[in-house]
Amino acid sequence: MNITILVIGKNKDEYISLAENEYLKRLSGFCSLKIEFVSTSKYTTNQSVDKIKELEGKAVLGKLPEQCYIIALDEGGKEFTSRDFASHLNKLLVSQNKPLYFLIGGPYGFSQEIKNRADELLSLSQLTFTHQMVRIILLEQLYRGFTILKGKKYHY
């Protein structure tokens, strides 16, 4: 299965890049995974939060293929244990015959249009994380999920 993590904004921190690269390398043995970025260069500080979310939403929609399964990360989404997430991931791998897209929003989250377009909403925690840290947490949970499914020693 092809998995894409679509992220609003570029990474600015080297430690994030190092962690991303480590998990991308680890995940390469389980799936085809890539991270794509949606530019936010057109926004100004004068714009309202709703306007920024609207512009980001349109940019995200422009990057999505017509046929894909979309999981948007959102604080109001469903939460899983790591084992339950692995099981859910397995069901998606078996049942979906189209690319899987995880969407990570910017600091303000997603527009309602994106939430409506998503096949499901996922919350990684009730805690709040920066959108850059969420990338690492999602990559780690994907890796953990695949190791659980394959019976590898990582999750105890």
Tens place of pLDDT per residue across the chain (156 aa): 799 999 998 888 899 999 999 999 999 999 999 999 998 766 667 889 899 899 999 999 999 999 999 999 999 999 999 999 999 999 999 998 899 999 999 888 999 999 999 999 999 999 989 888 999 999 999 999 999 999 998 866
Kindly state whether residue 155 falls inside one of the protein's structural domains. Answer: no
Kindly state whether residue 17 falls inside one of the protein's structural domains. Answer: yes
Whole-number pLDDT of residue 47 = 85
Kindly state whether residue 156 falls inside one of the protein's structural domains. Answer: no
CB contact at 8 A, 49 and 58: no
Kindly state whether residue 126 falls inside one of the protein's structural domains. Answer: yes
Whole-number pLDDT of residue 42 = 67
Whole-number pLDDT of residue 126 = 93
Kind and range of the H or E run holding 113: helix 112-117
CB contact at 8 A, 56 and 109: no
Number of domains in the chain: 1
pTM of the complete model: 0.93
CB contact at 8 A, 31 and 1: yes
